[in-house]
């Protein structure tokens, strides 16, 4: 029996879909059988980030309304045999499906997969309630900005009222140079306010944007810093103890040499 993890944030644009796609792919890379569900009905993106848009035949609403069987709607990934995606409908909206219907679909998927990753839409309305309905665990994504932390706090409050276990936190899009100059919220400050376990910090990385536009999750690129961070998140989900990465480690040989000579 697998476990269902919802990826949520409250605020939009903090990287829920990117996190879902990369953590899902990273888990598949480690040999797990993974299904990703896009619950952002009407504004589906997960398929675009995964580069699977042109393979969609049926979607989540089709399954919920019984127009097709569940495994007919699952889109198999082009890179991994054990990675599947259940796309959202683009022509409907959030009210066209109920939390109970989503719960039923997730329950049906769990026996066949090790992990079911649910990509949640922004907001705390119907779409949010749908997404968290079938989840056992939650990952809350935030960025080091006050507005994002505020919304994450709101969402954690809502999650704590459900049967979902204590949510875990991903801090996304950290810019080490802003951190150093003190112009960005510190990781420690964010954890102190939100008071939940940290499961990963992800540095801001241009490769993520490039990769998303090519329909190729960043984790596939071993040279990307963000890829390493997402792989670490996946390893922590599997129960490994992985130390947090150092954010300013990227200094190249040349820069380190300059630093050594007291010029940096």
Partner 1 sequence: MNVKSLVTIKGIKDGLVFLLDDACELDELLDELEAKLARHEQQLAGPIVHIQIKLGSRQLTEEDKERIRSIIRKQGNFVVQSIESDPVPVGPADYSAYKVQTVTGMVRSGQTLEHEGHLLLLGDVNPGGTVRSTGDIYIMGALRGVAHAGCAGHTEAIITASLMKPTQLRIAEVISRPPDEWASSEPWMEYAYLQDGNMQIDKMAHLHHNRNRALQAKGV
Interaction site with partner 1 (CB under 8 A): 146, 150-151, 153-154, 156-158, 160, 192-195
CB of 152 to partner 1, least distance (A): 8
Q: By three-state DSSP, how is residue 83 classified? A: strand
Query: Is the Cβ of residue 75 or residue 194 nearer to partner 1 in the bound state?
Result: 194
- How far apart are the C-alpha atoms of 45 and 204, rounded to whole Å? 20
CB of 146 to partner 1, least distance (A): 8
CB of 212 to partner 1, least distance (A): 29
Query: Is the Cβ of residue 154 or residue 259 nearer to partner 1 in the bound state?
Result: 154
Query: Is the Cβ of residue 171 or residue 229 nearer to partner 1 in the bound state?
Result: 171
Q: Rg for the chain (alpha carbons), in Å?
A: 19
CB of 190 to partner 1, least distance (A): 11
CB of 157 to partner 1, least distance (A): 3
Q: In what side-by-side order are the strands of the sheet with 75-76? A: 75-76, 83-86, 34-38, 115-119, 3-8, 137-142, 168-174, 197-203
- How far apart are the C-alpha atoms of 125 and 203, rounded to whole Å? 29
Query: Is the Cβ of residue 136 or residue 153 nearer to partner 1 in the bound state?
Result: 153
Query: Is the Cβ of residue 31 or residue 157 nearer to partner 1 in the bound state?
Result: 157
Closest CA to 20 of 127, 115, 154, 149: 115
Locate 84 and state its tokens.
């599947």
Ranges of beta strands (E only) in 59-167 are: 75-76, 83-86, 115-119, 137-142
């Amino acid at each position: 029996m697998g476990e269902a993890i919802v990826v949520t944030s409250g605020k939009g644009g903090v990287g829920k879909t990117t996190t879902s796609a990369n953590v899902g792919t990273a888990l598949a890379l480690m040999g797990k059988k993974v299904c990703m569900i896009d619950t952002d009905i009407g504004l589906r993106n997960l398929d675009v980030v995964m580069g699977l848009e042109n393979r969609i035949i049926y979607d989540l609403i089709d399954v919920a309304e019984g127009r097709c069987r569940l495994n007919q709607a699952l889109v198999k990934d082009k890179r991994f045999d054990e990675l599947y995606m259940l796309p959202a409908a683009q022509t409907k909206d959030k009210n066209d499906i109920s939390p109970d219907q989503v719960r039923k679909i997730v329950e049906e998927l769990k026996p066949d997969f090790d992990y079911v990753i649910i990509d949640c839409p922004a907001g705390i309305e119907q779409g949010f309630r749908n997404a968290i309905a079938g989840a056992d665990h939650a990952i809350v994504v935030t960025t080091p900005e006050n507005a994002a932390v505020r919304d994450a706090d709101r969402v954690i409050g809502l999650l704590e009222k459900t049967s979902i276990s204590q949510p875990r936190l991903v801090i996304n899009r950290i810019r080490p140079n802003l951190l150093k100059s003190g112009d960005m919220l510190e990781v420690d400050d964010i954890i102190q306010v939100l008071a939940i376990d940290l499961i990963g910090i992800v540095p801001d990385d241009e490769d993520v944007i490039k990769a998303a536009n090519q329909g190729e999750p960043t984790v596939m690129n071993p040279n990307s810093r963000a890829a390493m961070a997402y792989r670490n998140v996946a390893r922590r989900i599997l129960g490994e103890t992985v130390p947090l990465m150092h954010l300013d480690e990227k200094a190249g040989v040349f820069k380190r040499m300059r630093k050594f000579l007291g010029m940096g």
